[in-house]
Amino acid sequence: MKKYLFWCIFMLILLLYNSIETKILEDIQHVSAIGYDYVDEHRMKGTAAAPFYPAGIDVQPLDAFFTAVGHTFLDILQKQQLESQRKLVTGRLQNFLISKELAKHGVAELTDPLGRSTDIGRDVYMAVVDGSVEDLLTFKYPNAPTSAEYLSDFMERNLKDMIPKPTVHVFLDQYNGFVQDPFLPIIEKKHDHIRYKGLALFKNDHYVGELSNKESYLFKLLYEKTKTGTDQFSLKNKKYIAIQNIRSKVKYKVSGSQDDPRVDVHVSFLGEVKDAPSISVGKGTLKEMEQAWSKGATVRATKMMNKFQELEVDPLGITEKARSHFRNFDKKAWDQRYPTVPIKFHMKIRITNTGISNK
Amino acid sequence: MLKTDSAFQKSELAKLLQACEESADFLTFRLHDSPFFIAYFKTLVKPEIIHHDVLACFKAKNPSALEEIKAILPIDDVSITDNITDIQNKLMTGSLIFYIKEGKPDCLVVPVPSVEKRQVTTPETEYTVAGPKEAFVESLDTNLNLVRKRLPIPELQVKELVVGKLSKTRVAVVYVKGIADPENVKTVIQRINGIDYDEIADTSFLSQMIADNKNSPFPQLIDTERPDRLAAVLAEGKVGIFSDGSPTAISGPVSLITYFTAFEDYLSIWNVASAFRLLRIFAVLFSILATSSYVAILTYHYEMIPRDVLSLLITSRGTIPFPPFLEAILLELAIELLREAGARLPTKIGQTIGIVGGIVLGTAAVQAGLTSNVLLIVVATGALASFTTPIYQVSSVIRLIRFPFILFAHLLGLVGVAVCFALLISHLLKLTSLGRPFLEPIYPLRVEDFKDSIIRLPFSKQALRPLQIRAQDRQRFQQEASQKKDWDIDD
């Protein structure tokens, strides 16, 4: 019996072996960034950056790009394959870019397969490109061996401080989910560098508006609790002060009835003064700073919220908070009411540390 | 030279003597005009005793009967017998015999053995930095002496058996009566008595012959060369087995965890010891899984490689003409060859081979583009990790079971590694040691035995002996409330 079982397993393995496709590491070409431009109503142009690694010790990877025009994600990949010397695989994909033009026309066809594909990992960063994706991807940047590497580092490490993590799965979750509108970072090619420009706001799968890069840090404060980043504000006498975030928390409180809802947003911010030129920081000035910040931040947040309500987008997920508050939540009625819902911000700050600026 | 006497000629003794006389080292002679003949193997006896004591005494008193000789000889354990097998055994273990060629074929047997033995030296395979430095030697009596010195109680019992048709090896089964499970002792004695083999050279022979599963690569009785370790396991209730001519003792029943316990663990403080024990367990798992995971990931699961390692791996594997499987097998075989050659050669050349082989094979294989740098590191670390096990025999087992893992990884990727691991675990689950479960305390789950398995708790927590051994008396000591004074400033 035992022998019988053993040989059964062994045969099964031998049979299965021929049906599994091996993907030996150096025999495939890894697409590390992929981007799409708008061509016309039905077609788009895909650019895949798949760096080529020459053999040897201490060698630099070479830039390699494959472009093709097609209708869908897989169709374009298939056409890109026609030019590549090895099999193109997307298992190590790190960046997924969409041009602003394409985003305005909707990205549903493009992102749908991403959600279903088993090849797409968890940490694929997504961004909207202001301008041509092809230009941004294929440019030879002076500060990195390959443009894909620059882009990866840029997205993964740099943007972390400024905006909530913009991965494909977060995007798909927001887009497919019941109650939230997605948002993505906007990047652009400026001279010979990539630059973060702001936050793109989506209504369903369409680009509808954007926040500036200054506003995006405030957006992060309102969106989730964070431990990173610095915020800058000015006192009455036009002195600018930078405070570093030690930790911040945000809490949403929904009250009232479904017909007359009210939303209160409480942000508590624990900060440390990093830079306060020509200000002697004492107890009195600290209090003044705290007041100045919360006043300024409330104004900025309200302004941002008005923009959201005007555009009828809900990137902060207020609908979700309302849904969990009210029994028998009526989504249609809420969507109509959303632009007029009063939303109040309570920005509380405590500056604990004045660092080296204390005299 | 011999006067024929038909009665004597027909006796069994004469036949024995005749058979012995064909050997060049057998001496038989008559002393002057006395009726006694003396016979012995000169290679087995101590000539000084014969010349100074036996012959001198004999000449001075000139006795006329065997009983008289027995009375005057200054040597004890002298006997008169006509039992031919007894005589033969004594003759073969270093005795001289007096016999007369008239009347009854009686013999006076005088034991004058010359025992050649090595001095007690430091342990070599189980060396510890701290702790006792004695190791067993090839002499059974010395070994028993070393153990008895550590357990000076009458309850320490030794059952002596003789095994092997040709070698007639003395085998001693040692246990502490009242602690060891009598059933274990019975099993061991029964199995040793059941051995039918011509020559027993070492306790490893016994270990293989009395193992529960004779086809398993895992030894089911652990061998040690440390008397302190053996004394410790005897006190736990295990059974120890010695054989004459072997510098190692084996003990059982054991569990898999025993492979990861060194005696040094008990010499250092419990938390440090536990950390090193965990390290060893990790090392063995790493050693088994490292190369196979490398093969699996590089062949099937490129998605798992972190971004920063990806370019490193691709560039270093770029020139290699083989798939990862062949690459890994080549390097693993090279390291196995190196290890085997190093072990077979004399120490001085062995070291040279190690250095030359390591450097030449390692760097040259990478430069020639036969293996990648990363694999070289993986394989070398794996090899290093496999040698952290304190029991030498187990480390070679671990080195061997890597190969099926690599093969499975090549065939099915990480699924194959998982399948192979499942097979390994199911094999271990079925194993027993003297009828006791081998994977205890993990399966069957016995939580209280964890106090000395994956980690070692302090001695104060070890009031009960491990359950697996089924000791008759489980209590090591009475656990009482701590008598320690916490703070004495107010006194």
B413 to chain A: closest CA residue: A22
**Residue B220: CB atoms within 10 Å:** 23
Mean pLDDT throughout B369-376? Answer: 87
Q: What is the pLDDT of residue A108?
A: 84
Shortest distance between the Cα of A41 and any Cα of chain B, in A, equals 34
What is the pLDDT of chain B when averaged over all its residues?
Answer: 88
Question: How confident is the model over A215-247, as pLDDT tens digits?
Answer: 888 999 999 999 888 888 887 777 788 888 889
Q: What is the pLDDT of residue B482?
A: 56
- Residue B404 scores a pLDDT above 90: yes
| Cα separations in angstroms, B137 against A63, A337, B144, B262, B484 | 68, 92, 10, 20, 43
- What single DSSP character describes residue B349? H
Write out chain A residues lying below 8 Å of B315, CB-based. Answer: 53-57, 59, 61
Sorted by where each starts, the structural domains of chain A and their CATH numbers stand as 27-224 (no CATH), 226-358 (3.30.300.210)
First to last CA, chain A: 84
Write out chain B residues lying below 8 Å of A14, CB-based. Answer: 411
> In this structure, what token pair is assigned to residue B287?
């050693």
Q: What is the pLDDT of residue B1?
A: 43
Task: Express as a percent the part of chain B with pLDDT over 70.
Answer: 96
- Residue window 56-115, chain B: list those with CB within 8 Å of chain A: none
Write out chain A residues lying below 8 Å of B302, CB-based. Answer: 23, 25, 28, 30, 89, 91-92
Shortest distance between the Cα of B276 and any Cα of chain A, in A, equals 36
DSSP string computed for B149-177: HHS-STTEEEEEEEE-TTT-EEEEEEEET
Do A56 and B320 make contact, defined as CB atoms within 8 angstroms?
Answer: no
Best to test chain B binding among A17, A24, A86, A149 (most B CBs inside 10 Å): A24
Question: How confident is the model over A20-31, as pLDDT tens digits?
Answer: 888 888 889 999
- Residue A86 scores a pLDDT above 70: yes
| Cα separations in angstroms, B107 against A32, B13, B44, B140 | 95, 9, 18, 28
Which amino acid, B437? P
Q: Kindly tell me the sign of the dihedral angle through the C-alpha atoms of B172, B174, B177, B183.
A: negative
| ipTM score over 0.95, yes or no | no
Question: How confident is the model over A31-50, as pLDDT tens digits?
Answer: 999 999 999 888 999 999 99
Do A55 and B318 make contact, defined as CB atoms within 8 angstroms?
Answer: yes
Q: Chains A, B: CB contacts under 8 A, how many?
A: 74
Residue A183: name the closest of A230, A242, A126, A221 by CA.
Answer: A126
Do B315 and A25 make contact, defined as CB atoms within 8 angstroms?
Answer: no
Question: How confident is the model over B182-207, as pLDDT tens digits?
Answer: 999 999 999 999 999 999 999 999 99
A148 to chain B: closest CA residue: B307
pTM of the model: 0.86
Question: How confident is the model over B49-86, as pLDDT tens digits?
Answer: 888 888 888 888 778 788 888 888 888 888 888 888 88
